Structure 1
Amino acid sequence: MKQGIVYLIGAGPGDPGLITVKGQECLRRAEVVIYDYLANPAFLDEAPACAERIYVGKTRGCHHTPQESINRLLAEKAKQGKVVARLKGGDPYVFGRGGEEALHLHHEGVRFEVIPGVTAGFAAAAYAGIPLTHRDFTTSLALVTGHENPEKKMSSLDWQKLATGVGTLAFYMGMANLPLIAEQLMAHGRPADTPVAVIRWATTPRQRTLVATLADVVEKVRQAAFKPPAVIVVGEVVRLREQLRWFDDRPLFGKRVLVTRTAEQAGSFGRLLEAQGAEAISCPVIDIVPPPSWEELDREIDGLEQTDILILTSANAVDAFFERLRACGRDVRALHGVTVVAVGPKTAAAIETRGLRPDLVPADYRAEGVVALLLERGVAGKRVLYPRAEIARELIPRELSAAGASVAAPVVYRTLAPTQGKGQVLAALEEGIDAVTFTSSSTVENFVAMLGDDAPQRLEKVPVISIGPLTTATARRLGLTVAAEAAASTLEGMVEAMVEYFSRNPEVRIQKPE
């Protein structure tokens, strides 16, 4: 039997981008992933699909799996010859009980490696705009757990030294003991007006930062109903927050945005939204499936030597066409002499990943733009291949045929409503969202079909963001009010439209879940 190994991986405090490259590499070759409540669930997608996933997380007052059982589980899986990724929030050796797990593995003779992570105190302060050290304020720092071994009490800490001997204090898991922390620091010489920052859900779109002083922090936390998880930062460096805040100053910070694209395509849109501070809630309302038959497209691929123009109007069409080209035993060389037209930059980028650069991209990223561009160049006598969606409009075939072209428009994909989509959408609406996005008419139609006649009422107070005029027209026809439409029919254009909308309507905000 091969020798197993346990990787104790620090996953950081929540932002998936904060895991180290080495941590990600170890996770990607894991056969077993044993993970905590604090590890962002997105990390699980990095592990192989066949990897066993075991949740052992703990929340305050509810220990899902006792630590001793976790220790035994790690050793047991490794002794079976497995590569085990122990995924822990923050850093495994900073208040994460990673030391206890490593000691157990050592005593059991199990190989292990420790992959450090970004600890919550460092990340929370940085994302709140607070440098933990600054030579004009302090050059000393202490990390303190506010929730010690149950057999100890926080009163066992050397409060005198903490209060007067260290410039910045970062308390982990200290919300339940916040009154004691503030009281003891002031009682041992820390000025009552010392600034305090309480940072909740650090590094995520749900991050909230409350600034107070030792004298009033307990009352302010009570009034704001702040709850764990949170990091408490005490020290003069907190005064720099208003000058250095960057994370929660982004234009869409804290907005929960419903993304209705397919599961495969939601990621790219989600990353654009997250870059502006939003939380992307993926609720696909369409699935992409093949046509009933490839016969028509295969026939056209056989005759590519006679084709003059290939029109591709979506990344889905690009994928379907080139995959079928390969299935027919051909490659991009079959397109020698063919003028390739992409409807817009995203479709052009998808074509380029196939080793081919499109010849033409219209300024208007719609079917109308494609038609106008080709009519301007002349299509009489040309043979045109237009692989399309089943529900695509007849505009391109109709207009080009009327201008003298011979147009073949085989269906290469269909869009269907996912069978499990309704429950996911309803759950997202119940939790509260700030905007819903539609990237095509089919996303609108399927969304409304899922929710039924009360769809307009459910979205009455939710801004609807549309990718372009056709999607907007469909939304309005189905009773929805469109708050903003992208100037350019791209995902980037949608994000720009959303930013502009919320900058003009800052009062529009849906109540967020705790």
Structure 2
Amino acid sequence: MSTIAFFRPADDRAESAAEFIGSLGAEPLSDPMLAVEPTGDTPRTDAAITILTSKTGAELVAETDWTPGGELAAIGTPTAEALEAVGYTVDRLPSEFSSSGLVSELGADAPGASIEVARSDHGSDVLTDGLNDAGAYVHETVLYRLVRPDGAGASTVAAAEGDLGGVCFTSSLTVEHFLAAADDRGLRREAIDGLNRAVVGAIGEPTRETAEALGVDVDVVPETAQFDALAEAVVDRL
């Protein structure tokens, strides 16, 4: 049975990911590379369009009394579902689950519009720059910071020892934190070699580009940017 490493935060996302990988006939190795530190800030309430980019962001605003002043847009079905589960109405959900997809979705309405982007401190400039270039007045609120948890890195040892059949990278930051954890252990070169002998999956093109720029060969990118599709693609390639 092949071991598949993944890096979801240590909450229900890690649990469901482990269950799904197990259902595919593989052995899951959970090694959370992201921990959430809320800032306590909330989005502005006077924007024509407010964009939430993650399930985590949706969960954080749900804990406040924030109410959007205009339309609410979400990147990804999990974000939309988390918002709707607590009573928000999602007005926009791009068919392409990415920053560039949302820029295309909102492009016609952007000129002169005030747009609020509420997300982590590691959000892509593709979204804000794209909306600005389209003529919007963009304001960004950082809802949370993403940090590497203390002790993360069991998967880097497994990679260095040749014990991984595959890995599922779900963001550029998980790639960067994986390699930082390998650095902490003096295993960076060995860990990269181990990844390049395994099946490496990246959830989208930005994640693939980051991995390959850092020397990690990416074997699969799923058609849809969802964890289950990523895990399936890795196991199928194996």
Q: What is the TM-score normalised by the length of structure 1?
A: 0.43
1:461 corresponds to: 197
Q: Which runs of structure 2 are paired with 1:70-219 in the superposition (5 Å)?
A: none
1:342-395 superposed Cα distances (whole Å, 9 cap, x missing partner): 11112111212222231111111100000000003x122222111121121222
Q: Which residue of 2 aligns with 1:286?
A: 34
Q: Which amino acid aligns with 2:25?
A: G
User: Equivalents in 1 of 2:129, 2:16: separation in Å?
Assistant: 33
Equivalent-residue separation in structure 2 for 1:287 and 1:431 (angstroms): 27
- What is aligned with 2:75? 343
User: Which residue of structure 2 lines up, in the alignment, with residue 471 of structure 1?
Assistant: 207
Q: Which residue of 2 aligns with 1:36?
A: none
The residue aligned with 1:360 is: 92
Residue 155 of structure 2 is matched in structure 1 by 425
8 Å Cα contact 2:100/2:130 also seen in 1: no
Where relative contact order (Cα < 8 A, 6+ residues apart) is larger, the structure is 2
Q: Taking structure 1 as reference, are residues 438 and 418 closer, same or farther at Cα in structure 2, changes over 3 Å only?
A: same
**Structure 2 contact 2–164 (Cα < 8 Å) conserved:** yes
Q: Deviations over 1:291-310 (max 9, x none)?
A: 3xx4xx44x44xx1x22111
Query: 1:276, 1:468 → 2: CA distance?
Result: 21
Quote the Cα distance in structure 1 between the aligned partners of 2:228 and 2:111: 35
Give the counterpart of 1:395 among 117, 126, 132. Answer: 126
Which residue does the alignment assign to 1:309?
A: 49
Paired amino acid for 1:497:
A
Whether the 8 Å contact between 1:436 and 1:465 is mirrored in structure 2 is yes
In structure 2, the partner of 1:149 is none
Indicate whether 1:496 and 2:226 are aligned.
Answer: no
Select 2:165's aligned residue among 428, 434, 437.
434
Matched, 1:373 2:105: yes
Q: Which whole-Å CA distance do the structure 2 matches of 1:457 and 1:450 have between them?
A: 15
Which letter does structure 1 place at the counterpart of 2:7? T
Distance 1:496 1:282 in 2: 16
Cα offset for 1:431? 7.9
Aligned length in residues: 231
Kindly provide the amino acid, as one letter, of the partner of residue 104 in structure 2: A
Q: 2:144 aligns with which of 413, 435, 443?
A: 413
CA distance 1:257–1:347, change in 2 (3 Å): same
Larger radius of gyration: 1
Distance 1:313 1:363 in 2: 14
Distance in 1, matches of 2:128 and 2:171, equals 20
Give the root-mean-square deviation of aligned CA atoms.
Answer: 1.9
Matching of residue 275 in structure 1 with residue 28 in structure 2: no
Once residues 441 and 290 of structure 1 are traced to their aligned partners in structure 2, the CA distance between those partners, rounded to angstroms, is 20
Quick one: structure 1 residues 493 and 426, their matched pair in 2 at CA, closer, same or farther if it must change by over 3 Å? Answer: closer
Residue 507 of structure 1: aligned partner: none
Letter in 1 for 2:220: A
d(CA) in 1 for partners of 2:219, 2:132: 37
Runs of 5+ in structure 2 lacking a partner? none
- Partners of 1:281 and 1:428 within 8 A in 2: no
TM-aligned CA deviation for residue 411 of structure 1: 1.0
Confirm or deny: 8 A CA contact 1:487 1:497 kept in the other structure: no
Structure 1 counterpart SS, 2:83: helix
SS in 2 for 1:370: helix
Q: For residues 138-197 of structure 1, what are the alpha-carbon distances to aligned partners after superposition, in whole Å with 9 as ceiling and x for unaligned?
A: xxxxxxxxxxxxxxxxxxxxxxxxxxxxxxxxxxxxxxxxxxxxxxxxxxxxxxxxxxxx
Q: CA deviation at 1:459?
A: 1.9
SS at match of 1:288: strand
State whether residues 383 and 406 of structure 1, in contact with CA within 8 Å, keep that contact through their aligned partners in structure 2.
yes
Q: Calculate the TM-score normalised by the size of structure 2.
A: 0.89
Secondary structure at the aligned position of 1:409 is classed as strand
Q: Could you list the runs of 5+ residues in structure 1 that have no partner in the other structure?
A: 1-253, 503-514
Residues in 1 aligned to 2:157 and 2:193: alpha-carbon distance in whole angstroms: 16
Q: Post-superposition shift, 1:271?
A: 2.3
